[in-house]
Amino acid sequence: MSSTENQISYKESAIDERIIRAVEEMGFENMTPIQAQAIPVMLKGRDIIGQAQTGTGKTAAFGIPVIQSIDVNNKALQAIVLCPTRELAIQAAEEIRRFAKYMHGVKVLPVYGGQDISRQIRALSSGTQIVVGTPGRVMDHMRRHTIKTGQVKVIVLDEADEMLNMGFREDIETILKDMPTERQTALFSATMPKPILDITREYQNADAEYLKMTPKEVTIPLVKQAYYQIQRKDKEEVLCRLMDYYHPKRSLIFCNTKRMVDELTEHLKDRGYQAEGIHGDLSQNQRDTVMNLFRSGRTDILIATDVAARGIDVDNVEAVFNFDVPDDIEYYVHRIGRTGRAGKTGRSFTLVVGREVFKLREIERICHTTIKEKSIPSASDITSVKEEKVLSEVLEVMKNKKMDKTIEFLEEKLAESDYTALELAAAFMKLKMGDDIKDIKIEKYGSRERSFGKGKGKGSGLGVRSSEGRRRDDGKRYGGGKDRSKDKGFSEKRYTDKNSDRKVSREKETPEIFKGREKSKKSRREAI
């Protein structure tokens, strides 16, 4: 199948209404191309091979069908998602939890090296239906029998080419061999090298659906990009500081949800900013009114969701603020593309909370760009800027307006008081500037997570491969040619040839990617 430009709403699909409700609250209305193709196929229980770049909405493409497949009355493990790094495992688990917000009874657990395994064991023993983890840690739990695969319905390999590049092929195959014969296998990969094709031939049904998304050219406009690592509770304050410090004449602020647009619009208005919000719940008349205010300059701040902003075409936007880090890389490019037009240089500012910094690293990698981390303007910085702004406005008034009567009035009042003209001017300036500004205590995300390397792929800082062995997500090194099945303590009796009888049917013409599958003697390799 090829990608289509026609957008499909989540409501038009067979997705459970509770999941749709959660997705819409996240600010999404229409599926991305990979979601539109993968979700219907996975909901039918078929195996898929999805060739798509990072940032195309893959997590929802497999996460939504995985959630819908879960029997909430069964506390046993029913789905496993494998990711190449701990950061991606954590991120995917968080997104799947958000999709499952109203699917009460669905429990999702990320498992990865570097975290106390006893915590994961306790969570697994209390009943977890979906595990999202790195191959090394998943296999470790299997060895300990804390992950039992007997009732697993679905297994997903996300970023499969990255996992192979990091040396996880042996672990992946060991995990796949222990899965039940009757299961659904979904594989997602940006590229399709021979080792990936080998895995699909051995461990997926012969009629697996092959979905390929044509990668779009990602370009970054003339924009100075910066980000600020902050605590969630400080987001509104930091946003206001940035607007006060840089003072753009026209700004766009992006949020991921409609609710956040409404809340932030109200907050900024309460603080005296001329701000309006726009999202999909507004009527056409309301949208037109807001856009007329923004285009005419009667309001200089527009707060929007990505969907609502698609039809916005306004010149001279000096700055774009990402109040929320976008969930899709293309959304990031579209957002900052609202500024820096017609040869002009614009600015973009992204507020980053906790692990969201890894999303930003992925944007840098895919877009071949650099997003510089900057310090939040201090209270002293903001005060200085405000003083200069107020003084500039005062001098402009002095140049262009007659003030004879005003001077006469002030001279009379000063003569009646003990204050000097300088003190009076300072008081007026203080009144114009507002309350004193307090410094924000900066608490950045942990140094371990911040070591995630720029421009070196997802494995940077998490372990380096060598010609003699490799590192895995738990930081330990394993020899290249060593038989690790014994080291891992896997019982030969336990890993019997339980999958060799899986039926393979071929009722239609074989796609190019599956050529050579017929030569396989068995639908699965014999287990250890």
How far is C-alpha 511 from the geometric centre of its chain's CA atoms?
33
Per the prediction, the chain carries an average pLDDT of 79
**Residue 16 contacts residue 228 (beta carbons within 8 Å):** no
The whole-number average pLDDT for the span 101-111 is 95
Where residue 508 falls among pLDDT bands split at 50, 70, 90? very low
Domain of residue 498, residue span: 10-215+481-519
> Is there a single domain that holds both residue 147 and residue 243?
no
pLDDT of amino acid 373: 95
Name residue 322's amino acid: N
Name residue 359's amino acid: K
Separation of alpha carbons 391 and 426, rounded Å: 10
Which residue shows structure tokens 């209305």?
29
> Is there a single domain that holds both residue 149 and residue 253?
no
Does residue 340 form part of some domain?
A: yes
Q: Is the pLDDT of residue 317 over 80?
A: yes
Separation of alpha carbons 241 and 512, rounded Å: 56
How far is C-alpha 384 from the geometric centre of its chain's CA atoms?
36
Q: Tell me the per-residue pLDDT of 379-397, one tens digit each, with 9 for 90 and over.
A: 788 777 777 777 777 777 7
Q: Is the pLDDT of residue 448 over 70?
A: no
Cα three-residue angle 349-355-356, rounded to 5 degrees: 30
pLDDT of amino acid 343: 67
The whole-number average pLDDT for the span 48-55 is 82
Does residue 458 form part of some domain?
A: no
Does residue 96 form part of some domain?
A: yes
According to DSSP, the residues that pair with 251 across neighbouring strands are 301, 319
3-class SS of residue 467: coil
> Is there a single domain that holds both residue 314 and residue 370?
yes
Separation of alpha carbons 244 and 203, rounded Å: 57
Highest mean pLDDT among 21-30, 280-289, 446-455: 21-30
The whole-number average pLDDT for the span 183-207 is 93
Q: Is the pLDDT of residue 201 over 50?
A: yes
In the chain, what is the straight-line distance between the N-terminal and C-terminal CA atoms, in Å? 36
Does residue 423 form part of some domain?
A: no
The whole-number average pLDDT for the span 167-171 is 93
Q: Per the structure, how many domains does the chain have?
A: 2
Where residue 151 falls among pLDDT bands split at 50, 70, 90? very high
> Is there a single domain that holds both residue 56 and residue 148?
yes
Does residue 125 form part of some domain?
A: yes
Taking the CA atoms of 160, 166, 170 and 175 in sequence, report the sign of the dihedral they define. negative
Tokens representing 53 are 């770049």
Q: Among 397, 429, 451, which residue terminates a domain?
A: 451
Q: Tell me the per-residue pLDDT of 241-263, one tens digit each, with 9 for 90 and over.
A: 999 889 899 999 999 988 999 99
The overall pTM is greater than 0.75: no
Does residue 109 form part of some domain?
A: yes
> Is there a single domain that holds both residue 287 and residue 304?
yes
- Residue from 155, 150, 191 nearest 173 by CA: 155
- Residue from 354, 307, 361 nearest 335 by CA: 307
> Is there a single domain that holds both residue 327 and residue 371?
yes
Which residue shows structure tokens 């969201």?
356
Does residue 151 form part of some domain?
A: yes
The whole-number average pLDDT for the span 415-440 is 71
| Comparison of pLDDT for 219 and 233, the residue scoring more | 233
> Is there a single domain that holds both residue 116 and residue 25?
yes
Count CA within 13 A, CB hemisphere, residue 203.
Answer: 26
CATH code of residue 104: 3.40.50.300
Does residue 58 form part of some domain?
A: yes
> Is there a single domain that holds both residue 145 and residue 95?
yes
**Residue 350 contacts residue 371 (beta carbons within 8 Å):** yes
Q: Is the pLDDT of residue 430 over 80?
A: no
